[in-house]
Chains A and B, each alone.
Chain A
Amino acid sequence: SQTIHQWPATLVQPVGSPLSLECTVEGTSNPNLYWYRQAAGRGLQLLFYSVGIGQISSEVPQNLSASRPQDRQFILSSKKLLLSDSGFYLCAGRGDRGHRGYTFGSGTRLTVV
């Protein structure tokens, strides 16, 4: 079955600093992968999705970027963080054949100070 690994769990970064969040997938190959952001008490906002190596689609214009250097690796980055980048970041992958749900990582809680 598919497992999504995400780290770190918690991150406090100053405004203007860079960001790199990593998501790796175990158990399936060539998964569709997604980055979501969840503001406090709100739903999930799709940021990026990827259907394969080097293929990234952006849903929301912002100072974040994503990359997929390997089949099972999905990275969320920023060159300079803003206060508004604070939130809970979740990586998700489309599940195994026959399992019609999407598997999520445990999330990274980012606070920009």
Chain B
Amino acid sequence: AQKITQTQPGMFVQEKEAVTLDCTYDTSDPSYGLFWYKQPSSGEMIFLIYQGSYDQQNATEGRYSLNFQKARKSANLVISASQLGDSAMYFCAMREGLRGSYIPTFGRGTSLIVHP
């Protein structure tokens, strides 16, 4: 079974609007971390945001916020005020603590295109 599921292969958003990228995860480990990465066409992986399983508040990093719903096992990325430079692939990832040896597992990604 897939540990990270990203159901949106592609998303389109108008510049300056907000967009939500979906991510659901599957784990029985009580200690885990969730990440989002951005991959522009150059291929580099850019760390965006992290949410720990014990964190009480949703993580925020500038225009990025993570909508963490633990009971639903979802960790959606919200990008506010989209910019043209946000066009890229976005990957959700999870590392499991006790059982997973802290190895990150990635979803298949969502391609985001921001229109002017």
Contact = CB atoms under 8 A, between A and B. Distances in A.
Contacts of B52: 100
Contacts of A43: 4, 91, 106-109
Interface residues of B, number: 22
B47 interface: yes
Nearest to B108: A43
6 contacts: A34-B104, A46-B104, A90-B45, A100-B35, A100-B50, A102-B95
Majority SS of interface residues in chain A? strand
A56 B30 CA distance: 26
Q: Of residues B47, B91, B101, which shows the largest number of chain A Cβ atoms within 10 Å of its Cβ?
A: B47
A46 B103 contact: yes
Contacts, number: 48
Contacts of A92: 45, 104
A46 B37 CA distance: 16
B103 A100 contact: no
A104 B44 contact: yes
Top 6 A-B pairs ranked by shortest CB distance?
Answer: A101-B47, A104-B45, A43-B108, A44-B106, A100-B50, A107-B43
Interface residues on A, range: 20 to 34
Contact of A102 (B35, B43, B101, B107): B35
Interface in B1-16: 4
Interface in B44-65: 44-45, 47, 50, 52
Interface in A73-96: 88, 90, 92, 94-95
Given A90-B45, A92-B45, A101-B50, A34 B103 contact: yes
Contacts of B102: 32, 94
A5 interface: no
A55 to B, nearest CB: 12
A101 B35 contact: yes
Nearest to A88: B43
